[in-house]
Structure 1
Amino acid sequence: MVSLKSTLPEFNDINDIISYYSQSSDFSNLMISNELTLSIAYFGSLVDEKIIHENISTPILDKIEEISSLNLEAIRKILPIKDTKIQNNMEDITQQVLQGKSLIFFKDNADRCIVVNSLATSKGYREQNDAENESSVIGPKVGFVENIDTNLRLLRKSLNTPNLKFEEMVVGTTSNTKVVIAYLDGVINKEYLYTARQRIKDLDYDLICDSSMLDQLITDNSNTPFPLLLTTERVDRAAFCLINGQLTILCDGSPYAINAPTSIFDFFVSPEDYLLPWVLGSFFRMIRFLGVMFSITATPIYVAVLTYHIAIIPKDMLGPIIDSRVNVPFPPLIEALFLEIIIEFLREAGARLPTKVGQTLGIVGGIVIGQAAVEAALTSNILLIIVALSALASFTTPTFKMSNTIRFLRFPLIILASIWGGLGLVAGVIILFTHIIRLKSFGIPYLAPLYPLRYRDLTDGFLRFPLLMINKRRTIFRPLIQSRFSVKAKIKDKRDDFNNE
C-alpha cells in the first residue's frame, strides 16, 4: 500500500531538507553569517520570532568572532536555551522541524545541525477562539481567526506532516490581500492546484476583504444560489478536507477557509458525525437530508393542495382545515408568502442584533406575531405550524450558506405550486435537479457521487459507514493516493493475540 510518508524524497543532508521545505511559503531559511555559511531555518507559522531574534541570532552575532569554523558545539554553548541538541539523523530532523524547532547548520557541512526548541506555545490561540457558527457538542471547537499566520499554525498543528505545503499569493489591486493555498503534496490531484492558482492569479479586483468575496470570484458558476465551494471556520473540518485530497484557501483578515473541490453532500456532513458511533452518525445525517426535503416542499405542498387538489384531503382532516381557514380572507399563496416573509424578518433581525437581544426577539417575536396573526384571521394555525417546522428544518444543515439556499428555494416553489398546483411543484423540483446536475466545482460534478454514480464513495454519503470501511479517499477527487490507512484483519476481527506477548 502506498502511504503518504512514502511520497517524501530521500534526504541526504540538511540542505536537502531545506530545499524540500522551502516549497512552502511559511518556511524561512536565514543566513546568520556569510563568512561561516551559518544559517537558521524554521517554520514561521510554528515558532516564536522573539525567541529566534533574542535567544538565537543575537547571541550568535555578539560572539561570532569566538566561534571557530564549522564548530556546532561552540555555538550550542552560546545559546541561552536549555532544549538544544546536535543531531545528524535526517528522519528525526525532518519531524522535529514540524514540531516548532529551528535548525542551525553550516551549509558547507550540512551532515548535522543544532536543533533548538523555539515553539510558540500560545501562538494560534485566543480566549474566544471557538467556532461560533459551526458549533458541536463533542470534539474540538477551535476555529480560525482573522490572522492568516495564526491560521497556518493551526493547520500545521493539526496535520504534522512534511507533505503539507503552503503557497502564498497576493490579490486585490488596492488591498494587496495575502492569500495562501494549502494542500497535501502527494495526495492532491495537481489539476485542482493549477486551477485554483490560475483563477486567483487572473483576478483583477480592487478589494478582497474576506474569503467569501474570493469564493464568489473563483467559483465555477456565480449565477446559482448553491454554494459550490465549502467555507468553514473549523480547523478540524479544513484538515479533514486536506486529508481527502482537497485544497484549502485562506485569506488574510477572514476567519473562514475555502475548501475545493466539493460536492453537495459535503454541505450536509458535520465533523461530529465521525466522533459518534456510525449508527448514530448515519441517523443524524439522514435527519438532515429529510429536514431539507421537508423544509423545501412542505409549504409549497400546502399551497398546491388547498389551491387545486382539495379532493385528496381525507374527510377527517377536512373539518379542521376548513375551521382554521374559514375567516382568512387571503388565498393560500398570499397567506404562505405573508408568513414566510415574517419568518425571514425575524431571522434577519435576530442575526443583526446583539446575541441576547436577538435570541429574545426570535422567541418572543415568533410567539406573539404568530398568535396575533391567527387571531386576526390573517393566516391559519395549520400553515403557521408548517412554516415554523420548515424554518426549524432549514437549520439542520451544518453549513450556513446551504441553509440560506434552502430558505431561498421555498419561494419559487411556492409560486409554481400556486400557479399549476402539483404539476408546478413537480416541474420546479425537476428544474432544480436539472440545475444541480449541471453544476460543477473545479470541474467535479456537484451531485457526485450520486451522479455520476460512484458506489464506493456512497459509504460516506447519505450514510456514514464504520470508520474501518471508509479507509479509502473519495474517488471523485481523484487523489494520487487512494488509501488513508491500512485495515488489518486483526483490527477487523477485534481479536487480540495474547500468545505473541
Structure 2
Amino acid sequence: MRKSRKNKYTNIFPSKMEQLEELLTSKFENNTDLSFSVYNHLNKKIAVFYIPYQVTPEKVEALLLKPLLENDNAWDHEKVLNDIPLSSGEKTTVLEEILEKIINGHVIIYVENEDMAINYPMLNVQKRALSKAETETVVIGPQVAFTESLTTNLNIMRWRIRSTDLVMEKIMVGERFPREVRLVYVKSIANETDIHTMRQRLQELHVDEVEDNNVLMQYIEDDSFTVFPQFYSTELPDRATYAITKGRIGVLMENSPNAILAPSTLFSFFESTEDLYMRWNTGSFLRILRFISMIIAVTLTPLYVAGVTYHFETIPTQLLVSVGQSRASVPFPPIFEAIFLELMIELLREAGARLPTKVGQTIGIVGGVVVGTAAVQAGITSNILIIFITISALASFTAPSYLMGTTIRILRFPMILLAGMLGIIGILFGISFILIHLLRITSLGRPYLTPIYPFRMEDLNKVLFRLPQSFQGKRFASFRPKDLIRFKERRAINKNDIDE
C-alpha cells in the first residue's frame, strides 16, 4: 500500500456489535453482499463477516466456525489461532485493512469489546484452465499458455525455474483499485540496475487502477509516443522462463494472461521459441526470413508506387508493358490505388479478428478474393498491385509478436505517402527517419538496436542467427548480466564413445 493511504488508517476496536455492523454496512453502501453473523458462545458475542461469493461457505463452516464454536476454553487470540486448523490467520485492528481483506476473500472473526480481530484468507478463486496459446502459436515446443490467475502463473514459473535464486517480488499497483504485480528475476544473473529501474517505475506509478499487463507496459515504457513496442508481451511461459534465465526481468500481474519481458531489443520481436527447439541452421534460416519479411512488408508496396509514378526506367521493359496494360483502365494515381487496397486488407483483417473464428476465417478468404476480383474488373485497381499488396500482407504476418506485426502494418501507410510524393527519395527519407528514430529508443535504459548499435560481435549469434547449442556458452552480454557464463563450451558435451 502507498504511504499516502496509510495515513488514513484508523483503529476501530474495541467496539460493540451493533456499532461494528452499522459501520461495515455503511462502508459497503448498505449492500446485501456482506454477510455479518453474530454467535453467542461462552457468554461472549462472536461476529463472523465476509462476502459469501468470495469464499467457499462449506470451507468456512468446517474449518472456522466448527472449531471456533466447539472450543470450551476462554477467549484468547493466541489460543484461537492455535486451535483453528489454518496456518494463515493474522491479527488486525485497522478498518481500512479489514475492508481490503473482506474484498480479497478473507473471513474476519471478532469478539465484542476485544482490541483486535482475526482474519483468515479463504478466497474462492475462479480461474480458467490451462490451454494453448492463441496469439503466439507454436508448432514445436510446449503448448501451455499463461492464465488470468496469478497463482497459477507463479506456479508455472516456479515449476520451470527450479532454483532458490528465483525471486518473485510482490508490488501493489493502483491506489484506488490495487492489484498484485510480481517482479520475477534470477538474483544471481539479472542486472541490478535493470531490477532497480523496473522496481522504481512500478512503485512510483500513481494511478487509480491498471487494467492489464499490456496497459501497465504502456505506463512504464521509456517512450510513450513511439509506435514501436519497447517491452515484449508474451503468453508463453517457456519464452518467459528462457528470457529470465538469460538475465532479463519478467513482470506478472493479477488477472492478466501475459508476462512483460524487459529489457527488449528490436530483434527480440522477431525471435520465436521454435528457433530454440529446431536445429540451429533451420532456426537461423527462419529468423533471417523474418527480418527479410519485415523489410519487404515496409518497402515493397512503396517501391511499386514510386516506380510506377516516377521511375519507369527502373522497371524491366516486359514488366513495364504488363504494368501499363493492367493500369490502362485505372483512373486513379498509384498512391490512391495502393492506399485503397491497403485499407481494404486492414478492414478484412480487423473484421476477421473480431468475428467468431470460423466465420472470421471465411470472411478473410472469401472477402479478399471477391473484393479483389471485383476491384480489378471494375477498373479501380490493377491486378499487379494486388500481388504486391498480398506479398506485403503475408510478410507482415511472419512477425511472432502481434505488437510488432501491427507496427509494421502502420509503417506502410506513411511510406506509401512518401513514395507517392517524392519517389525513391521519399522512401530513402522514410527509411532514414525510421533508423534514426530506432537509434533514439531505449528499453529500460538499454539501446533498442543492440547489438548492432552499440556494436557487439559476440551477441550477433543470439539475435541475427543461431549457432549450435554447444557454442551458446555465454549470455547476452549487451544486457550486462551478473553471470555472463552459462557453461564452459569445451566441457559442455563429451562425445566420446562408450569404448574410449
TM-score range normalised by the length of the shorter chain: 0.7 to 0.9
Q: Is the 8 A contact 1:124 1:151 kept in 2?
A: no
What do the CA deviations read for 1:459-500 (whole angstroms, capped 9, x no partner)? Answer: 1121111111112100111000011123335826x333534x
**Structure 2 matches for 1:466-485, cutoff 5 A?**
466-485=468-487
Aligned equivalents of 1:124, 1:158: Cα separation in 2: 24
Match of 1:362 among 357, 361, 364: 364
Matched, 1:177 2:176: no
Q: 1:127/1:213 Cα in 2 relative to 1: closer, same or farther (>3 Å)?
A: closer
Q: SS at 1:204's partner residue?
A: coil
Aligned equivalents of 2:445, 2:458: Cα separation in 1: 20
Q: Is the 8 A contact 1:220 1:442 kept in 2?
A: yes
Q: Is the 8 A contact 2:222 2:230 kept in 1?
A: yes
Where in structure 1 are there 5+ consecutive unaligned residues?
A: 1-49, 63-78, 80-122
Q: Give the aligned partner of residue 161 of structure 2.
A: 159
What do the CA deviations read for 1:413-455 (whole angstroms, capped 9, x no partner)? Answer: 1111111100010011011000001110011100001111111
Aligned equivalents of 1:498, 1:486: Cα separation in 2: 25
**Structure 2 matches for 1:316-331, cutoff 5 A?**
316-331=318-333
Q: Is the 8 A contact 1:459 1:469 kept in 2?
A: no
Q: SS at 1:424's partner residue?
A: helix
Q: Give the aligned partner of residue 350 of structure 1.
A: 352
Q: SS at 2:365's partner residue?
A: helix
Q: Give the aligned partner of residue 389 of structure 2.
A: 387
Q: Give the aligned partner of residue 442 of structure 1.
A: 444
Q: Please give the root-mean-square deviation of Cα atoms over the aligned residues, in Å.
A: 2.4
Matched, 1:339 2:341: yes
Q: TM-score w.r.t. structure 1 length?
A: 0.74
Aligned equivalents of 1:320, 1:254: Cα separation in 2: 52
Aligned equivalents of 1:318, 1:435: Cα separation in 2: 35
Q: Give the aligned partner of residue 106 of structure 1.
A: none
1:125, distance to aligned residue in structure 2 (A): 9.4
Matched, 1:263 2:265: yes
Q: TM-score w.r.t. structure 2 length?
A: 0.74
Aligned equivalents of 1:485, 1:125: Cα separation in 2: 39
Match of 1:281 among 283, 297, 306: 283
Q: SS at 1:286's partner residue?
A: helix
What do the CA deviations read for 1:340-365 (whole angstroms, capped 9, x no partner)? Answer: 00001011111111111111110110
Q: Give the aligned partner of residue 464 of structure 2.
A: 462
Where in structure 2 are there 5+ consecutive unaligned residues?
A: 1-57, 71-84, 86-124
Q: Give the aligned partner of residue 408 of structure 2.
A: 406
Identity of aligned residues (%): 44
Aligned equivalents of 2:260, 2:140: Cα separation in 1: 23
Q: Give the aligned partner of residue 296 of structure 2.
A: 294
Aligned equivalents of 1:124, 1:150: Cα separation in 2: 11
Aligned equivalents of 2:404, 2:295: Cα separation in 1: 13
Aligned equivalents of 1:352, 1:428: Cα separation in 2: 32
1:325, distance to aligned residue in structure 2 (A): 0.2
Aligned equivalents of 2:126, 2:486: Cα separation in 1: 27
Aligned equivalents of 1:294, 1:240: Cα separation in 2: 29
Q: Is the 8 A contact 1:346 1:362 kept in 2?
A: yes
Aligned equivalents of 1:438, 1:495: Cα separation in 2: 50
Q: SS at 2:489's partner residue?
A: coil
Q: Is the 8 A contact 2:174 2:209 kept in 1?
A: yes
Aligned equivalents of 2:130, 2:192: Cα separation in 1: 36
Which stretch shifts more, 197-206 or 428-437? 197-206
Q: Is the 8 A contact 1:124 1:153 kept in 2?
A: no
What do the CA deviations read for 1:322-377 (whole angstroms, capped 9, x no partner)? Answer: 11000000000000000000001011111111111111110110110011111111
Q: Is the 8 A contact 2:168 2:185 kept in 1?
A: yes
Structure of greater Rg: 2
Q: SS at 2:171's partner residue?
A: strand
Q: Give the aligned partner of residue 204 of structure 1.
A: 206
Q: Give the aligned partner of residue 10 of structure 2.
A: none
1:141, distance to aligned residue in structure 2 (A): 0.8
Matched, 1:191 2:205: no
Q: Is the 8 A contact 2:308 2:334 kept in 1?
A: yes
Q: Give the aligned partner of residue 220 of structure 1.
A: 222
Matched, 1:134 2:136: yes
**Structure 2 matches for 1:298-309, cutoff 5 A?**
298-309=300-311
Aligned equivalents of 1:243, 1:148: Cα separation in 2: 20
Aligned equivalents of 1:237, 1:128: Cα separation in 2: 16
